[in-house]
Structure 1
């Protein structure tokens, strides 16, 4: 594994208790218990004896509180009355036990568990293969993850890259592996083994950052499938020239839905249904099977095949002449139900 500068790159991570939040809660509980113990001992200070000067001061009670809850017990200050001893047995002792449980739990959480999590993430990082990388986890990246999950993608096959800490926390809560860093950097993409990835989905917010991320991905993984979100239509050609296989313009697509709504009441609704795995139907792309070779495009997939992609050529069953014949190596685009017919 390459060595990276820590200020630029954080290790692969999954969701865990936020360190700052968990530690703050534990510290607050510990100080509250110490304050309660001090208040109890202060109001019952007449039951204590200072073997040094026979006077129990405010500082003496603070001192006795700390050595009591930490079980040090030097013996210079001790409970001498029956009430003071009962208070120590039934009030201070439970506080002492609870504080030790907090200390031990904190040690287990921030040492043992976090060390185990770091080792587990390093193991996942070494074995990443055929995974999906989400570079940028803003609104578009989060919607892409939701769609991947709805389509049945295993969360263990998804890695999120983002430089924003809040975005990384959102990704952790979703249950995917994350790495905090600049997706345009070679070392960040190498850390998620971009060369072994199946697909990278890039949505870095600004077009220039997204295009630079495309260039980096294409340089490191020439055969990688790259999809990128571009917001300015003038930059779509630049993204393609940078090496993107698929360029999506969210603004243009929203315009298409609005235009479709003007031609029919249900057209926009059906288009939304068609592009999401959570709808009733969806588009599926697959390779032509051996028994389909030589058949008409209209006769396969129960008539639901809508396109053949043959290299750079796109063939439709609704041309002026006869429907095209399927050839070996063709990619077929078809409309299929999202669920089996009997389970809707």
Structure 2
């Protein structure tokens, strides 16, 4: 059985007993008041009603009769208020005057109803909230299609999500999978749905609806984990685009054999960027700008439009750096390109603006 919670850094190191954590699905939610504070407020309201009722009874204590001694002091008034508001009603203290009975009808009876609503309302609210969140979870799972699953919400995973969302992908279409509950809490706080669990297990990926995902980003902390996740994800979804990150370059071929469409070597990519920045700080700044989607210059992939068919890569308005023809990636100056064809796709550099959304058929180039 898995717990459902509905919703708002670097990946936290895995604890020794994390494999015992129950698989949970967490959806983004608005920040709500702590349950203990809510209960405390209701208890204070109930006690306030009880005190007010006792003062009302004591103010008219001559209109009440106590079967034990005939007189009603404040302790008797508090006792009467308690048994009356809780609907116990032993009958040992009763209103005898017309004024006392009228006050019971017009004041104390409504207070009794309000007192019960405050106490019983807490339980009803819990049951209602649980039902509502179960309905929300079922609706979320039934409507989730062609989404993006991100395994690992560390520096790499977080940056990958931000890059993809900068192109127009809604946060509701992103599901984060991580073994740490604290990491998933951070993801849901940013508006993403999250699944707590080990992504190497097929049942965990199934809760993230990997079988219906369009894109899968694997940004785990360990290369061996990335291999196992890739194998499991590819087995569950043959058509999804899987992009994985590895630390060691020697493990990249293994990831591709496991089913990854693209593999980014994070250590080597960072090292090359460092080396480029040493040789030319300006060139390093340009590369940093290119890999930050949504600001400055962006690298985008788009189909060739009808007006561009038959022209060379340098003859169209955008700055073309590569042409995708079938399964081949050709440089803009490759003689094999010739002129652009209707089935080609081009990789271009364009100037990004904060308000411009990239069209659905224009996909960002995976970067680390």
Q: TM-score range by the shorter chain?
A: 0.7 to 0.9
Across the two proteins, how many residue pairs are aligned to each other? 334
Q: Structure 2 regions of 5+ residues with no counterpart?
A: 4-20, 357-368
Asked whether the equivalents of residues 70 and 96 of structure 1 are also in contact (C-alpha less than 8 Å), the reply is: no
Q: CA-to-partner distance for each residue in 1:139-171, whole Å, 9 max, x for gaps?
A: 332333333332211223222223322222223
Distance 1:122 1:340, change over 3 A: closer
Aligned-pair Cα RMSD in Å: 4.2
Superposition deviation, residue 217 in structure 1: 0.7
Equivalent position of 1:10 in the other structure: 24
**Partners of 2:72 and 2:249 in 1: CA distance:** 79
Asked whether the equivalents of residues 15 and 169 of structure 1 are also in contact (C-alpha less than 8 Å), the reply is: no
Equivalent position of 2:294 in the other structure: 278
Asked whether the equivalents of residues 171 and 192 of structure 2 are also in contact (C-alpha less than 8 Å), the reply is: yes
Distance 1:96 1:331, change over 3 A: same
Asked whether the equivalents of residues 12 and 125 of structure 1 are also in contact (C-alpha less than 8 Å), the reply is: no
Superposition deviation, residue 57 in structure 1: 11
Counterpart check, 1:336 vs 2:350 = yes
**Partners of 1:305 and 1:99 in 2: CA distance:** 71
**Partners of 1:329 and 1:101 in 2: CA distance:** 67
Equivalent position of 2:124 in the other structure: 107
**Partners of 2:152 and 2:78 in 1: CA distance:** 52
Return the structure number with greater relative CO, CA threshold 8 A, min gap 6. 2
Equivalent position of 1:177 in the other structure: 193
Secondary structure in structure 1 of the residue aligned to 2:27: coil
Pick one of 33, 36, 44 that aligns with 1:24: 36
**Partners of 1:250 and 1:69 in 2: CA distance:** 67
Equivalent position of 2:165 in the other structure: 149
Equivalent position of 1:310 in the other structure: 325
**Partners of 2:144 and 2:94 in 1: CA distance:** 61
Equivalent position of 1:325 in the other structure: 339
**Partners of 1:183 and 1:285 in 2: CA distance:** 30
Q: TM-score, normalised by structure 1?
A: 0.76
Q: Structure 1 regions of 5+ residues with no counterpart?
A: none
**Partners of 2:323 and 2:28 in 1: CA distance:** 40
Asked whether the equivalents of residues 246 and 264 of structure 2 are also in contact (C-alpha less than 8 Å), the reply is: yes
Counting only pairs closer than 5 Å after superposition, residues 41-190 of structure 1 correspond to structure 2 as 51=66, 66-67=82-83, 70=86, 72-76=88-92, 97=114, 100-101=117-118, 103-104=120-121, 107-108=124-125, 110-190=126-206
**Partners of 1:174 and 1:117 in 2: CA distance:** 19
Q: CA-to-partner distance for each residue in 1:71-102, whole Å, 9 max, x for gaps?
A: 5444445799x9xxx9xx999x8898478347
Q: TM-score, normalised by structure 2?
A: 0.72
Distance 1:219 1:258, change over 3 A: same
Q: CA-to-partner distance for each residue in 1:6-53, whole Å, 9 max, x for gaps?
A: 6743356342556xx632112222344566678889999987799465
Asked whether the equivalents of residues 14 and 121 of structure 1 are also in contact (C-alpha less than 8 Å), the reply is: no
Secondary structure in structure 2 of the residue aligned to 1:307: strand
Asked whether the equivalents of residues 295 and 354 of structure 2 are also in contact (C-alpha less than 8 Å), the reply is: no
**Partners of 2:284 and 2:72 in 1: CA distance:** 80
